[in-house]
Amino acid sequence: MEHLTNAMEKLLKPTGKRLGQSFLGDVHRYLSAEDAKLLPKLLKLSETEMNTLCWVAKAVPRPDKWGDADLRLIEFFIRRSALLNGVDKREHIGQCSDWPLAHCLRRHLEVEKPNEDFCGALRTKVMSLGIPESRWLLLVARHVEPRAVNERLTSAGRYLASQPVDKLMKVLPALRYHCTDTVFMPAFAAEFPENLAGLMDELIAKKQVDGLPRGGWLAALKCDAARFESRVAAAFELMRDEEEKSLLAKGLEKHFPGKYRKQTVKAASSIGAALGGEEQAAAARWLIEQQGEEAIPAITDYIAKWNLKNPYIQDWKIEVLRAAAKLLGRKLKPALEAAMQKDLPELRHGALELRIGFNDPAEDSALEELLLKELSADAPKLLLRFIPLSASWNVKRIAPRLWPLMEHNSKPVREAAAQALSKLGDEAVPKAIELLAARKADTRKAAVTLLMAVASEDAQRTLRDHLIRESAPDVRDLIQKALVKGVGKLQPAEANSPAGHVRIQKASMVDQKQVEAAIASAAPKIKDAPAAWIKESALPAIYFVDGKTLERDAVRYLLYRQSREKEITADTEAALLYAVIDRKRSGEFALAVLTGYLGSALDAKDRWALALAGILGDDRIVPILTKRIAEWAEAARGKLAEYAVQALALLASDASLLAVDAMSIRYRTKFKNIGKAASQAFAAAADARGLSPAELGDRVLPWLGFEPGKARLFEFGGSRVEVSVGLDFKLAWRDLVKGKVIKSLPAGAPDDVKAEVKELSASLKEAAKAQLLRMENLMVQQHRWAAPRWAELFLKHPLVFPFAARLVWGAFGTDGKLAATFRALEDRSLTDANDESFTLPVTGQVGIVHPLELTPDQRQAWLKHLADYNVVTPFAQLERPVVTLKPGQEDIKGGDDFDQVELNAMTFKGRAERLGWSRGSVVDAGGINYYYKQFPAAGVDVFIALEGMYVGIDMYSDITLGQVMFVKHRSVQIGGYTYDEPSGDKDERLVTFGSVPAIAFSEAMGDLAKISGKSGAQRSEEADA
């Protein structure tokens, strides 16, 4: 009973109600046998309430574990089922009251053994209540799933497949409606071929061949072509379902090449019968393979006539054209010409793209005419599609039409035209100069965009000359961004600069006098501070590098200019002023501005204050913003938190970057946008220093007050206490006066020492947590350190030395191959698995060893060594489950290891995102077709297909996993309504399983085994055997 109670309470938890406040309270009392008189009341539960009970039904155990409460619940479901009690509306989907009974079996059928009969156990209970078997049979056909698992019928599938033909014929419409899987019919054909043959004969005789569940005829052909050939051929002639007939045509041709060619080619010519772009493209490819150029009329007819009233399936036709073009090339011209239809711009775009790709000079005049026609459209949406396409062909020939678009009323169109015309190089400069004299500022901005994209000396000179004359602030801003390309990009401090200070890179020769002149020129136009919360009189002084104080006009100018920048970066003109401000003395000013903003209404338009704080501030802003970021994340102000993360990255001190790096890990699954912003900001900071994110992560490790390789000393009264970081990442104490280890800081320590130690302990805990996940990621990514750098870092830094001692490390030669393995001992010497002293080579690299890099003997030796020394690795290393290729997987591009696995949507989401997987593109109706994970070091990304996943899915919904695919790293574009995910074996981005690096393959498939709950990971012990 407890399991049913838990299920009901879990169901009510989101509503905040108790059992007694819901109809579930009555159900609970009935099941607990406290009040059997409740049954009549329960039999009146609504269909909606019965639907809710499906979630309780899932908690019912397997039949041989049914208790009294389970049997009472099942009996109630039987008595309440509309279908079983003769109230049937003849609708295949049935009524909600029919569903709970089927849900009692679902999860158990998925793991049922061949000799078990769970469906039969439930049937016995149904029959005992006097229910006619015909009704039970119909309920099984409609609702009891799965019918087959792992190419084998479940007891529900066997019950259906073993029925006499006359009974099967009665439930066949329901079975066809609900049988959408591709497992039941193949298993039916394999286990009950005689029954299936009899059913087929009856369908053929009655000319009802479309009544067999989809894929049934093809499954029979694949199972036993000789037995089923004549039946399939007869059904093929009678079949009206064009999609089914097209698929069956390929099957007949495959098993009996040429024998049915005339009929199969005719059927396959109905390309539109296939459902979906990928399927239609496959149909076109097959037709071309059979007919060659003779397939062109069918393809042309499909493009010209099929489903013209549905503009949303243009992508399907484009897929067909692309597939056909790869096989037929220029010969496909009739079909491409047929695609130039008035109301289908996406189709026209796809056809023109293919024609351009042929690089046929004979097509130039026709292409010019067609492209110019497209560029004559008024709608910005159309222009934005065809401007880049036209520029990719021949920008000189279409330039006469592009120049007028520089004055279009749509900003995106102007910018697209400018980018296209920039391909003319310096040839575009004279015309751009004319546009700089236009009256409209928008036109002048388009000209600036053009010159910015040209980026030649001539273009730069033109912009500098025009800057003197330009009066519009927005245009001046844009010119500054073009001229000062490096301004605002922060660089690390000089070697002798205090930590936390940065300098602005100068992209042009600007001195203090020039800046002061600019301030004097702008001052009359700036009447006040840019925000009401700024109290000018309370702002601390700020100084030029020559020691001179910035006057009120200069401060206003700085605040005004920065307030114009929408991004968290330096304003283009303010950056020139930043370059001559004394950064060593600007921290108070920055802190005052930040404090003022944080005390305001936090209007997003004032986010520039965060940027200013990052540019001019010091490490005092790090704890302030770190705390606010956490608060804003919980308060649904994620975007503001992202801005604050970027501001911390602008500060670019060790403390700020360490905080940003920690946030990239802390917010990896919850508040992912903040985590993503932190990752991007940290990567940008690393790039600015010419480092990888991993290298920068090493450089900003917090020392926590320790010195390299030394403990910290606390002296108070007559005590001398030493503290170090233990191998368990906790503080380890030693009383130097008494000469013994102690558990903690003595109770008699002064309050200031206690406070310092408390902060040290908290900082160590937070830093160790971040490094734990970071080190595991570095192992998976196969990161390597130069041997001297590894020794300097891991043997001397207190925070990462525990990793040196508790992990197995590899010394890799200059050829990248593993040469030796070792770990550190507590005295910081090195040892191998045989307790022999190890000397780290001066050359080569060091990395955390992945179990796949070790031989079975090496791995067993290290497991013994670690056990002998009672060393537990901080994360799964040698005992890490590994997954290797199965025989025959080397050349496949899509694996079905987890195909058709069902699990709760929120369970999937939680598990996947905790392991670093992200959702793919959000498509129509908020659907999410894939989740993916990147392996940059391996050069691949992995995708898992999903069915039933969508944005905002609730905790009660299930999803189904599909194929696993690996693609070249970052070859797939991800975004809102971005349809670029991998599809079909012909997708050139797909990587064969055999080409995926072993570690990336193992980690990806191991993740999916954990996510799915499927025992798909093969432990290394098993692999060793």
Architecture of domain 307-483: Alpha Horseshoe (1.25)
Q: Is the pLDDT of residue 592 over 70?
A: yes
Domains of the chain, by residue range, sit at: 1-180, 182-259, 307-483, 490-699, 712-868, 902-1017
d(CA 989, CA 60): 45
Query: For 194-198, 665-669, 674-678, 695-699, which range has the lowest pLDDT when averaged over its residues?
Result: 665-669
Q: 803 versus 290: which is more confidently predicted?
A: 803
Q: Is the pLDDT of residue 288 over 80?
A: yes
Q: Which residues contact 59 (CB under 8 A, 6 or more apart)?
A: 3, 4, 6, 7
Q: Which residues contact 804 (CB under 8 A, 6 or more apart)?
A: 794, 795, 823, 824
d(CA 794, CA 806): 12
For 32-80, where are the alpha helices, taking DSSP H only? Answer: 39-42, 47-52, 54-57, 68-80
Which pLDDT value is given to residue 274? 60
Which pLDDT value is given to residue 16? 78
Q: What is the mean pLDDT of the chain?
A: 88
Q: How confident is the model at residue 492 (pLDDT cuts 50, 70, 90)?
A: very low
Exposed (0-12), middle (13-18) or buried (19+): which is 682, by Cβ within 10 Å?
buried
Give kind and range of the element (H or E) at residue 944.
strand 940-947
Copy the structure tokens of residue 754. Answer: 């206690």
Average pLDDT (867-895) is 92
Which residue from 781, 692, 694, 777 is spatially nearest to 1000, judged by alpha carbons?
Answer: 781
Residues 497-512: b if buried by 16+ CB within 10 A, e if exposed: eeebbbbbbbbeebeb
Which pLDDT value is given to residue 496? 31
Copy the structure tokens of residue 253. Answer: 């041709």
Residues 192-207: b if buried by 16+ CB within 10 A, e if exposed: bbebbbebbebbbeee
Q: How confident is the model at residue 1004 (pLDDT cuts 50, 70, 90)?
A: very high
Average pLDDT (726-740) is 95
Which pLDDT value is given to residue 272? 63
Query: For 31-35, 113-117, 649-653, 707-711, which range has the lowest pLDDT when averaged over its residues?
Result: 31-35
Vertex 811 angle, CA 809 and 814, to 5°:
150
Alpha-carbon distance values, 876 to 247, 775, 807 (Å): 47, 11, 10
Q: Which amino acid is at 268?
A: A
Q: Which residues contact 239 (CB under 8 A, 6 or more apart)?
A: 209, 210, 217, 245, 248
Copy the structure tokens of residue 146. Answer: 């799965």
- Do the Cβ atoms of 359 and 367 come closer than 8 Å? no
Average pLDDT (390-407) is 94
Alpha-carbon distance values, 432 to 149, 403, 415, 429, 478 (Å): 67, 9, 13, 5, 15
The answer to whether the peptide bond before residue 874 is cis (omega within 30 degrees of 0) is: no
Which pLDDT value is given to residue 437? 94
Q: pLDDT tens across 120-132, in order? A: 999 999 999 999 9
Q: What is the 3-state secondary structure (H, E, C) of 471-531?
A: CCHHHHHHHHHHHCCCCCCEECCCCCCCCCCCEECCCCCCCHHHHHHHHHHHHHHCCCCCC
Query: For 745-754, 790-799, 808-817, 972-981, which range has the lowest pLDDT when averaged over its residues?
Result: 972-981
Q: At what angle do helices 277-291 and 242-255 cross, to 10 degrees?
A: 40
Q: 512 versus 459: which is more confidently predicted?
A: 459
Q: Is the pLDDT of residue 500 over 50?
A: no
3-state secondary structure of 821: strand
Q: pLDDT tens across 167-189, in order? A: 999 999 888 877 666 788 999 99
Q: pLDDT tens across 218-228, in order? A: 989 999 999 99
Q: pLDDT tens across 616-658, in order? A: 999 999 999 999 999 999 999 999 999 999 999 999 998 899 9
Backbone angles phi, psi at 240, to 5 degrees: -105, -20
For 309-344, where are the alpha helices, taking DSSP H only? Answer: 314-328, 333-338
Q: What is the DSSP letter of 715?
A: E
Vertex 749 angle, CA 744 and 750, to 5°:
145
Average pLDDT (320-334) is 89
Pairing of strands 719-725, 490-491: unpaired
